Structure formats: structure tokens, C-alpha cells
Amino acid sequence: MHAQQMADTHPGARGRANDALTRCIESCFDCAQACTSCADACLSERSVAELRQCIRLDLDCADVCIAAGAVATRRTANQDALLVQMLETCAGFCRLCAEECEKHARHHEHCRGLPGLRARLPSGGDGDRHYRPLARAVDVAPTS
């Protein structure tokens, strides 16, 4: 994705866009796509009846990530408190989604997390790849 390049050309964001926020934005859109895909893959499984909760959390997480990614992209001046609240809410959905995915990760590869991401994320779950950069952004964004 090109969130960094776009931020660099934004007249209101220069000097304010930080790496953590940019990674967070990219993670939001990435996670939304991955959750949409995971929900659809779960729907294709024979054991779909056991994956209902996973599908619902995937869909919730995808919707919240899209909104969080768009809000974090906008430079709505002086509203950092609300942005952080939105990112924390988003991180909550990601964490829950990761916990649910981990239960199925042994049987369903799409719930297992992505190889390249797992290398970077010790605890492994699907949504969790996303929560950690979010959490860092939450720490960093309001002070920047």
C-alpha cells in the first residue's frame, strides 16, 4: 500500500504522520481484506457450523477495520482522543478475532495467520498480526 507516500504529500499531515500511524492504517485495510477472505474461507469449510462465531467476528472485524483505517487516514484536527478510542475499539475486535481464529488454526490454514506475519508476531493468531501495530499507533499517535 501507499499510505506513507500519500501522507507525505498531504498539506495538513506533514511532520505529523508518524510511522506507527501509517503502519496502523495499512494494517487496518490489510486486516479488513484478510478477515473478509477468512470469513469466506470458513463459509467454504465442511465444518462451517462450528465456525459461525469465527465468521461473525471476521465480518465485525472487517467492518470496524475499514472505518478505523478511513478515520485514521483523515487529518481531523485536534481529535486525537477520538481517533485513539476508535483504534482501541478496533484493536479490541482484532484481539477477539485472533483468539477465535487460534482455536481453529490447527484445522484451517486461513485461520492460522499468514507465514510472513507470524514470523513477526510471536503469538501467532490471525487478527493479532493487526492488533500489535495498532496498539503501537495508539501509544504513539496522540503524542506526535
Under the rule (CB under 8 A), what is the footprint of a second copy? Answer: 1-3, 5-7, 9-13, 25-26, 29-30, 32-34, 36-41, 43-46, 48-49, 52-53, 55-57, 59-60, 62-64, 66-67, 69-71, 73-77, 79, 82, 85-86, 89, 92-93, 96, 108-110, 112, 114-117
Question: For residue 98, which of 59, 54, 134, 135 has the smallest C-alpha distance?
Answer: 54
Q: How far is the CB of 4 from a second copy (least distance, A)?
A: 9
Shortest Å distance, C-beta 1 to a second copy: 5
DSSP single-letter state for residue 74: S
Least Cβ distance, residue 12 to a second copy (angstroms): 4
For a second copy, give the closer residue by CB, 12 or 142: 12
Q: Which is nearer to a second copy, 34 or 134 (CB)?
A: 34
C-alpha cell at 36: 473478509
Residue (37 or 123) nearer to a second copy, CB: 37
How many angstroms separate the CA atoms of 120 and 82, rounded? 29
Q: Judging by beta carbons within 10 Å of its beta carbon (0-12, 13-18, 19+), is residue 108 exposed, middle or buried? A: buried
Cell 482522543 belongs to which residue? 81
Least separation in angstroms between CB 89 and a second copy: 5
CA distance 108 to 86: 30
